[in-house]
Each structure stands twice: as C-alpha cells, then as structure tokens.
Amino acid sequence: MTPVGRACWEDHFARGRGFRGVTERELRLLGEAIRPRARALDIGCGLGTYAAALAGLGHDTLAVDWADAAVAATRDRYADLEPRLRVLRLDFEDGADVTAKLPRTRFDLVTMRLVLAFMSDKRAVADRVRGLLAPGGVWVVTTPLAERLPQERRHIGMTAQDVAIVTEGWDRGEWYDLDAGGMRCFVLRA
C-alpha cells in the first residue's frame, strides 16, 4: 500500500472505526468448518473483533495488522483475553517482516476477514499462508465478491481472477455464502 493508503487506514482505526460485524451465524459456520482448539493466526485483524471471537471459541489466537492504530486498539479492547489472544504489528505483504516475526511458527488455522481484496500480490500471500500452516491446516478467507457489489464498491471485493489465484493448489476447498449481498467464505485445506 502507498503511504497515503497507510495514513488512511491508521486514521480509520484510530477513530475506532471497524467494518462489518461478526454474526453468530458466521461464527457457527466457522466452527463447523474447523477443528476446535486450533492455534490461529488472524491476518488484518483491524479492531480485533474476529480475533477476539476466535479466542472466545477456544483458539490460541495471534492477531496481526500492519496499522499501529489497529494493533493498539485490539490490545486495549481485548486485554482481558490474554494470553489466549496476542497482538502483533506485522505487514503480511512484506515477506521479510513475516519471516522475521514468525520464523518457525505453524498454525492450524489462518483467517483473513475483509482484508485479502486490499492486498496487491494475492499469489504471494497464498504462498506465505501455505508456509505458515501446519499439516492439515485451514485457511479461511472471508471476502465480498466484486461482481456482486455495485460498481463504485467493487474495489473492496475479490474478482473471479483473484479467487482463482487464491484457491488453486489446495488439497481441498469449499465455500459458503454468508449473505445474499456477496459475502463469501472460502475454507481451503492444506
């Protein structure tokens, strides 16, 4: 992202602004798709709502975001969930940053909720996630689909080409729609 983009995200999170809330149905479907008590990594945690929900489901969760304001907000809001929920500033698009901060870590579950569409090199992100997953691990990507969004909002969704890039090369995969508005959840298994 450009420095202007980073400044906008920092401001967004510093003002306490989040995005779409996590519904009970979404958590129920997630719980059905993954094994209990997983070691989880939530990439692009924003204000930490999803990471806190994962920790609440019993997962040992590391929440990461590249925005300092998001990391600070998550730490402040969910300090009572430590040590089950830990927070770290990490730019997941920067392979060197990931290698430096997560050198030998393996996760049973990696989640990306409403963030992958904003990442520039989706193939590199998918490869990086594969490298962090333990055998039998699961990558859960929740994202709007661009073709189901109004033209002026398509930039926040994943295109069919993006989906093809992200979903290729996994042992198994399934998806489900969270709503009629185009919010889809991909469950990709290593």
At 19 the pLDDT is: 67
Contact 190, 138 (CB under 8 A): yes
pTM: 0.89
Q: Could you tell me which residues come within 8 angstroms of residue 106 by beta carbon, excluding any fewer than 6 positions away? A: 39, 132, 133, 134, 137
- Cα–Cα–Cα angle for 61, 110, 2, nearest 5°? 100
What does each of the 190 residues of the chain score in pLDDT, given as a tens digit?
444 476 676 665 667 666 667 888 888 888 888 877 889 999 999 999 999 999 998 999 999 999 999 999 999 999 999 999 999 999 999 999 999 999 888 999 999 999 999 999 999 999 999 999 999 999 999 999 999 999 998 988 999 999 999 999 999 999 999 987 789 999 999 8
Record the tokens describing residue 40, joined without a space: 């989880």
Contact 110, 43 (CB under 8 A): yes
Q: Residue 43: name the closest of 117, 150, 145 by CA.
A: 117
